[in-house]
Amino acid sequence: MANPMRIRAAAKDGITEVRVLMNHEMETGQRRDASGAIVPAWFIQEVSARLNDKDVMSAQWGPSIAKNPYFAFKIKGGKAGDTVSVTWVDNRGDTRTDNAKVT
């Protein structure tokens, strides 16, 4: 199981700004290791977010997203005490979901 994400969600003026820091290698499949063998691609392909069990955001990523991805987006609505959850799925089928309370 992958390491947890760090999620910050802050509501202000009817907009909840969500900032997520994920733990992932985001290996491109272009790089070679010391012995010259290609390091297989390993990256997050899909990201989605929910606000209190309602799907609000989805994205598809390629390996051009930087290692340990940072992702920020703005939800219309939301208030302090709401729950934001973020899920990613990588190309190996590994997945992780983490939650944060809106402040």
Partner 1 sequence: MIDIERRRALKAGGILAAFAAAGLLPAGRARAAWNKAAFEGKTVQEALASIGASTTAASDDVQIIASDIAENGAVVPVQVVSRVPGTTQIVLFVEKNPNVLAGIFDIGPDIAADVTTRIKMMQTSNVAAVVKADGRFLASIKEIKVTLGGCGG
**Residue in 30, 6, 24 with CA at minimum distance from that of residue 68:** 24
Asked if residues 84 and 100 have their Cβ atoms less than 8 Å apart, the reply is yes
The nearer residue to partner 1, 68 or 99, going by C-beta atoms, is 68
64 binds partner 1 (CB under 8 A): yes
Longest dimension (CA), the chain: 54
**35 counts as binding partner 1 under rule CB under 8 A:** no
Least distance in Å: CB of 101 to partner 1?
18
Which residues, 38 to 57, sit near partner 1 by CB under 8 A? 41, 45-46, 48, 51, 54-57
Distance (Å, whole) CA 7 – CA 28: 25
Phi, psi of 54 (to 5 degrees): -110, 125
Pick the binder of partner 1 from 4, 6, 12, 15 (CB under 8 A).
15
Closer residue to partner 1 (CB): 58 or 103 = 58
Amino acid at 75: I
Residues with Cβ within 8 Å of 56's Cβ and at least 6 positions away in sequence, in order, are 49, 50, 75
State which of residues 5, 65, 84, 86 lies at the interface with partner 1 (CB under 8 A): 65
What is the binding site for partner 1 (CB under 8 A)?
15, 26, 28, 30-32, 41, 45-46, 48, 51, 54-67, 69-77, 89, 91-93, 95
